Each structure stands twice: as structure tokens, then as C-alpha cells.
Amino acid sequence: MPDKEQHMMEEMEIDLLLETIQRCYGYDFRDYARASVRRKVRDIASTVGVTHISELIPRLIHDQQLFSSIVGIFSTPVTEMFRDPPFFKLVRDSVVPYLRTWPFVRIWLAGCASGEEVYSLAILLKEEGLYDHCTLFATDFVDASLHKAKEGIYPLRSMKTNIANYQNSGGRALFSDYYHADYESVIMDAGLRENITFANHNLVTDGVFSEMHLILCRNVMIYFNSNLQSRVLNLFHDSLLHGGLLALGSKESLHHHEFKDRFIELEPAWKIYRKIV
């Protein structure tokens, strides 16, 4: 089969697979960035051992475990505690003083994955004396990720990186004060979870989290196409109070979206914006 025809056939098979996932399970990946979807679907087909992507469809309909595997592959996060230390240093030095102007603060971490970022922020807020005046909403659409985030149990081998990140982000204590070692794992201190609400929320299909003072959604929208990015940015805009802050990933921005006139850019390097309209 000529390359062009083969490509067209593969694209059609991917469309049918994504449609099947949406109709059978309610998860909509149709507006995810196509190149990323194509790469992941090929990996899934190779792992399962099928020649054609379309062969996944009947198996997917009847195999909940295969669906769970696919969701896991589509949502595989790259994360660690205090990832991008300069970002957290900026939050400590510039964002926290701004948040202090409100008597109570609501923060939404969208796409929290396995929870490393929300625990990092909780630690930072505790050190700045603001945690008791905050409610943090940590959301993801993958129940397995949320379960791990709620448990707050992470590999001991990751602590070397996490400690270095914490120190480089302006940490003011010993990072070991915030977890308990248990054989090959660490368990985050239960006090960090007191003001965190973990909830299943799908940015593709679900609605507004209203009255937020700060929304963090870093390195999530890079996996979305432009239409879905616009949908999600509209969701964030409607979820923020006037003057609320939006923090995106360093590779994401509002420059190519209609929303750039609804926000002012506070930090170009780390893509922090304030809602003005």
C-alpha cells in the first residue's frame, strides 16, 4: 500500500479508536495533539501485539483492563516534587504576597497527576504561614492517579531529586520534616492533606471550578490541540475571580489565543497571568 494511503488508513483507524473510547467510556481524547496521540496509539498496538490499530477496537469494547492501560498511557505524567525550582521560588517570593491580600484563598491544581505538585505547594504555603487560610483542589481525570495522590506515597529513590528541588526553590526547613520513610517508600505528612480536596475532573468535558484565586495547570495543555486549548482556557477564565492568577507551563502561553486580552502577563518566563476582564 502506498505511504499516503497507509497514512490515511491509520488516521481513520485512530479516529475510530478514539470514538470508541469516547462512546464506551466517556473519555474524550479526540482533541489531544495528534502527533502525540498517533505515537501513543502505535505504542499501544505494539505492546498489545496487533498489526493494525483497528484490531484494538473490539478488544477495547470488552476489556476494561485494556481501557485502563490506554488511559494510563495517554495521561502519563512527568513530575516530581518542586519541579522547576525557579517557578516555586517565584511563587514564594511574588505570588504568595499577592495571595495574602485575600482573607481566604482557593487554589485549583488542574491535572494534579500523582500529587507531587500539590504537596509541594502545600509545603510552600505552610512555610509562608498561608496554608491555614487556603483550600486546595487537586483534580485529575484518572482515578488511579488520584488514589496515589491521596495516599501521598512515593519511592524513596526519588527523594534525592526532590530534596535538591526543594532546596533550590527556597525551602526553609529540612525536606525530611515533611515525610516519613518506610522501607523503600516515603509517606507525606498527613498534615499536608488537611486542606486539600482531591476530585475527579476532566478538563475536556467537565465544568467550572468557581471562585478560584489561583489556578495551576502546568505542562498539561501541550498535549491538546488549539481547539481544546481554547476550551480549557475559557474554563480557567470563568473559574477565576477578577484579579485571580493563572500559572501555565513554561512551554505554554496565551499569546496565540483570544484570551490574551483577558489577562495581563506577570511573569513571561514562567507564564503567570492575572485575569483583568
pLDDT of residue 2: 63
79 located within any domain: no
pLDDT of residue 78: 64
Residues 199 and 143 both lie in one domain: yes
Q: How far is CA 219 from the centre of its chain?
A: 7
d(CA 232, CA 249): 14
Give me Rg for the CA atoms of the chain: 20
C-alpha cell at 237: 477564565
Residues 227 and 97 both lie in one domain: yes
> Does the pLDDT at position 92 exceed 60?
yes
Residues 39 and 171 both lie in one domain: no
Domain boundary among 49, 74, 99: 74
Q: How far is CA 10 from the centre of its chain?
A: 29
Least confident span in 131-135, 158-162, 175-179, 220-224: 220-224
Q: What is the pLDDT of residues 68-80, one digit of tens each?
A: 888 777 776 667 9
Q: How many CB atoms lie within 10 A of CB 230?
A: 17
Q: What is the pLDDT of residues 188-198, one digit of tens each?
A: 999 999 999 99
45 located within any domain: yes
Residues 39 and 127 both lie in one domain: no
Candidate ranges 37-51, 97-111, 202-216, 223-237; pick with highest mean pLDDT: 97-111
* Domain range for 43: 3-74
Nearby residues of 148 by Cβ (< 8 Å), 6 or more positions away: 114, 115
Residues 108 and 226 both lie in one domain: yes
pLDDT of residue 22: 85
Residues 142 and 186 both lie in one domain: yes
SS3 145: helix
Residues 161 and 36 both lie in one domain: no
Give the residue-averaged pLDDT of 7-20: 90
80 located within any domain: no
C-alpha cell at 38: 498517533
Residues 93 and 217 both lie in one domain: yes
pLDDT of residue 132: 97
The burial of 97, by beta-carbon neighbours within 10 Å (0-12 exposed, 13-18 middle, 19 or more buried), is given as exposed
Residues 10 and 91 both lie in one domain: no
Residues 54 and 146 both lie in one domain: no
* Helix-strand-coil split of the chain, %, nearest 5: 50, 20, 30
Domain boundary among 74, 96, 120: 74
Overall domain count for the chain? 2
Q: How high is the mean pLDDT of the chain? A: 91
261 located within any domain: yes
Residues 271 and 154 both lie in one domain: yes
144 located within any domain: yes
Region of 70 (left: φ > 0; alpha: ψ -120 to 50; beta: rest) is alpha
Residues 91 and 180 both lie in one domain: yes
d(CA 163, CA 165): 5
Angle, to 10 degrees, between the axis of helix 34-48 and the axis of helix 64-74? 140
Specify the residue for cell string 468557581: 210
pLDDT of residue 77: 62
Model pTM?
0.83
pLDDT of residue 197: 97
Give the residue-averaged pLDDT of 179-189: 93
198 located within any domain: yes
228 pLDDT tier (thresholds 50, 70, 90): confident
Domain boundary among 52, 74, 96: 74
Which CATH number is 101's domain given? 3.40.50.150
